[in-house]
A and B are shown apart, each in its own frame.
Chain A
């Protein structure tokens, strides 16, 4: 846990990466940081590794529901 400043606005490349991540259900750390800065300014945030662990467990821990 550490305090993180608000992230810089995204460029084209980062935005393309964000779309790729969100479409394929990958964790999006930048989006999480943006969310924390906007809603919970000053609160401690998870490190990238902690966020990855929690996100992957939340998404797949109960077995991902998917189609045939």
Chain B
């Protein structure tokens, strides 16, 4: 019976892939993508993750977990597996799996779908599962600590510096996504601004007025958010209020920097914790709503399977299908950042070792499904409209009429009236050149929700989607600045001891300001970039995120080899090899490619020539050239780091495999679990 069921699941999945493979020309329905993805996830979970659990990792349900041994009722708590699955999913899923697939949709829906589905089953979910397992066997140690203990102290140090650099780029690019969604949008600015006093109100409620009543405060917060959303429409329509909340990109960027600084200095209960609760509720709720919406509407995908832009001439970002599709979509297929979550709070809450498979592997499959939904939402849009939102203003020629002509040159039909009509229907003055993915995803989500609940609410759903994305991006900005501050303080503490004290106010202010200045620099660079900033920053973010995944897979391989399972080390080495090929090629092209849209150095030379010809002002040109060189340096640094790390790990692997070193890792000793019987 059971076998029959799995045969059926496999057949349905294979049939869906067959439909996708044989499909030519006409629009395909999102249902086939969803079926193919879910079928592959189920087969991957049932067979591959079980192989990983039983053969490779040697999961032992009789072994007591840290949550059981160190149970303190707070961070170490045995937690039911489905509850922890939800908790872990809420911690790993953010803006990444939503934005990446939307940007990569410029290649068509096919490359993204294949990479998201097979990347997760063979790479991303394996990474999350192995790191979660490793951390669980080591009392919840962090990725950096594991790198230090299992590979070597220098590796640990490099891993920590890499994490700090990645954090800076991540914060800058996410802030850029929000900036582009909010600029010249009084509705967006008003409703997103309202989230700050709402969160502070919740914080005071939970701490002072009714201590510990977090659920009621959060529910009240959500009600207030919806009110702010509705009120935003009136603000946008009011001739006196609208100009007050209509801000350009630079002003919004400065606003975000000031917000990030204040938020990372304030006590956590006042802003960070309530904002996190709010965004978690909203995130889980909206993702479920989106899944229902897609299943009810089953939209046809109007984007072609492959577009001409696989040759590298795409307007959204430059670069060929290989390697840039695999850099642009990081979260959803494989995301190094998850290794930080999988070696953080989650391993301390696992009740039984056997639960780790559902939480680590299954949690990542769920995030991958979110990425597939984002891809469906973006490719269900009319491709002409998709490019009118996602291509930078400079590439579109500045006006709606020019944009329609340019897009026609690219082979997609769209009229100026359609472009204007879309902006009007979502309550915006213009959507032209709103790069960054969030606005086009919001349009896609709004169309799907309107398909379920009726067309008249389109503008409300659009702004709901924008606020939902901004809410957790701002939470990441807030939490990320704080994490960066702690890392920086630890590093600065080596130079001058008092700077390392996390509660010493001068040090707190100095290090917070430094972290904000670092991501703020890249954010401003992106806002001022005529190509829209996403073109240079998103690939840097993708490269750095995949680099972190490479670090995690190096650590994972080391753990497997040191557990005496060297013959199975290919489970992490194969995705590692793929990531190295992708990141090193992409890094090399971003630095040295001759096309000024693609290569940082050739863009610097191109700018210098334009300055000499008088086409660009001298001071602007000098700033752009400096930024190009900075970006090139950063990409080079990322590449250097990954090579050094790989060599250090490989030395360790060979030492163990050749018998020069005993296969022995720093796992905690076996204690029998009370749940065993």
Given the complex of chains A and B, what is the CA–CA distance between A65 and B335 in angstroms? Answer: 14
Task: List chain B residues, Cβ under 8 A from A51.
Answer: 212
Assess whether B281 is interfacial by the CB under 8 Å rule.
yes
Task: List chain B residues, Cβ under 8 A from A20.
Answer: 215
Assess whether A61 is interfacial by the CB under 8 Å rule.
yes
Query: In the complex where A52-B207, A56-B268 touch, is A67 in contact with B280 (Cβ < 8 A)?
Result: no
Query: In the complex where A19-B83, A24-B87 touch, is A36 in contact with B476 (Cβ < 8 A)?
Result: no
CB distance from A43 to the nearest CB of B (A): 11
Task: List chain A residues, Cβ under 8 A from B96.
Answer: 67-68
Given the complex of chains A and B, what is the CA–CA distance between A63 and B80 in angstroms? Answer: 25
A56 touching B476, Cβ below 8 Å: no
Choose the segment among B68-76, B618-626, B646-654 that binds chain A (4+ C-beta atoms closer than 8 Å): B68-76
Identify A68's interface contact among B74, B90, B268, B476, CB under 8 A.
Answer: B476
Given the complex of chains A and B, what is the CA–CA distance between A51 and B86 in angstroms? Answer: 23
What is the interface residue range for chain A against chain B? 35 or more
Per-residue CB contact flags for chain B residues 324-363 toward chain A (1 = under 8 Å, else 0) read 0000000100010110110011000000000000000000
CB distance from B474 to the nearest CB of A (A): 12
A65 touching B273, Cβ below 8 Å: no
Query: In the complex where A24-B280, A31-B77 touch, is A68 in contact with B83 (Cβ < 8 A)?
Result: no
B479 touching A63, Cβ below 8 Å: yes
CB distance from B197 to the nearest CB of A (A): 20
Assess whether B561 is interfacial by the CB under 8 Å rule.
no
B341 touching A66, Cβ below 8 Å: yes
A25 touching B87, Cβ below 8 Å: yes
B273 touching A22, Cβ below 8 Å: no
Per-residue CB contact flags for chain B residues 85-110 toward chain A (1 = under 8 Å, else 0) read 01100111111100000000000000
A52 touching B211, Cβ below 8 Å: yes
Assess whether A26 is interfacial by the CB under 8 Å rule.
yes
Assess whether B486 is interfacial by the CB under 8 Å rule.
yes
Assess whether A8 is interfacial by the CB under 8 Å rule.
no
A67 touching B338, Cβ below 8 Å: yes
A39 touching B214, Cβ below 8 Å: no
Given the complex of chains A and B, what is the CA–CA distance between A5 and B277 in angstroms? Answer: 30
B212 touching A23, Cβ below 8 Å: no
Determine chain A's interface SS by DSSP, over half rule.
helix
Interchain pairs with CB closer than 8 A, number = 135
Assess whether B276 is interfacial by the CB under 8 Å rule.
yes
Task: List chain B residues, Cβ under 8 A from A3.
Answer: none
Query: In the complex where A24-B90, A26-B214, A67-B338 touch, is A56 in contact with B269 (Cβ < 8 A)?
Result: yes
A67 touching B337, Cβ below 8 Å: yes
CB distance from B165 to the nearest CB of A (A): 15
Task: List chain A residues, Cβ under 8 A from B246.
Answer: none
Assess whether B482 is interfacial by the CB under 8 Å rule.
yes
Query: In the complex where A17-B215, A20-B215, A68-B174 touch, is A36 in contact with B276 (Cβ < 8 A)?
Result: no
Assess whether B79 is interfacial by the CB under 8 Å rule.
yes
Per-residue CB contact flags for chain A residues 40-68 toward chain B (1 = under 8 Å, else 0) read 00000000110111111111111111111
CB distance from A12 to the nearest CB of B (A): 15
CB distance from A10 to the nearest CB of B (A): 13
A-B contact pairs, 21 of them (CB 8 A): A22-B83, A23-B83, A24-B87, A24-B280, A25-B91, A29-B212, A35-B71, A53-B269, A56-B268, A56-B269, A59-B345, A63-B482, A64-B272, A64-B276, A64-B483, A66-B91, A67-B93, A67-B94, A67-B337, A68-B94, A68-B541
**Ranked 8 nearest A-B pairs via Cβ:** A35-B73, A63-B483, A68-B96, A63-B482, A49-B211, A60-B268, A23-B86, A24-B280
